[in-house]
Structure 1
Amino acid sequence: MVESNDYDAITVDIPLGLLDNGFRKADIESKIALGPRRSSVFLTPPRSILQQDSYDSANALSRELTGLGLSKQSYALRQKVLEADKLFDDGATLPLFEIHPEVSFMAMGDGPALMSKKTWHGQRDRMTRLGAQGIVIPAEIGVAAEASPDDILDAAAAAWSADRIATGCCGSIPSPPQINERRQRVAIWY
């Protein structure tokens, strides 16, 4: 994790700012904005659901509180989401901002990317969008080359968003950000 706070913006592709009840506007509005890429955003469950010790109890509570079942993928991410939530709670010391790569790519170009980031055309589209912003990923990237190509593109989108946040020319979904029960700004930034 970060050992110093010499950063103006640290962006993470993980939900920051959980709600006690209901779904976050950031997720709902991002799904709408992304159109064909909407499935890349999942609805972040309320905090109490993620705090359940078993998938079965989390799923039952999700059905009770939201009317919807909980995906196993959402539950599998719960530890990371809860860790991020704790950092965000303690977060006056770290400038943490939630991003979503597909929202960032949408903001870079003419609407949402149409092809999956797992396809050649989808990756080329994202590289073109980054290039239009002055970001060119070099052929040699050291140990980062061990990551999947889509993860490298997502990291570049996160860096682009961090720069926009740090320089004050960013946007958010929703705008203005939703304020949760803990008085935190809940938004996906780009």
Structure 2
Amino acid sequence: MKIDLAVLELTCSRLCHDLISPIGAVNNGLELLEDEQDPELVAEARALAARSARRASILLQAYRCALGNAGNQASFGFGEAIKLARDYLEGGRVTLSGVPAMSPSDLPGGWSKLLLVGVILLSETLPRGGDLALSVTGEGEAARFTITAEGSQIVFADDVKMLLSGDSGAAPLDARNVLAYLTGLVATRLKLKIEASQHGVGRLDFRIL
């Protein structure tokens, strides 16, 4: 197994960047509880610590499956991927819609991981908020999905699009775009391809072929 140290470092930078805010907020809430006597402020501090701890837990669970080996296990299915995706988006300005009532069956290991990391990646293309509409077709090895991001503004940089090929040489890697590269690697391992196309300023189609 070939391990690219730079990719590991950039992925760790991404994880730390996302986790430092909620963990810092937990610490701030606990510090306020140590000396504060006002009942209302105590209640606010407890609520802050609780919300932030939940957010940190959600991020860890989502990244454990989206970026870690847990997402490759056969036990990690469509339903769990959707739950983690919705938890990840909770409290933000991006929603997930179009989820089928019936989960596709006999999905290959790693397929649901690709779906989860795709949702995380596409949510970042909607800085002003919007909707991610999911469409799933087929079963088993033939299962495919499309995520359509729609909002008032789509931010989809050229380097992110190029790195979806899973080729680290397609563009310079950094902590901002490493998730796109990892998404491409997951698709490549599943022998799938990613097609991403933007339509105007407010729509982006992300297809797994």
Q: What is the TM-score of this pair, normalised by structure 2?
A: 0.26
The answer to which structure has the higher strand fraction is 2
Rg (Cα) greater in structure: 2
Structure having greater relative contact order (Cα 8 Å, sep ≥ 6)? 1
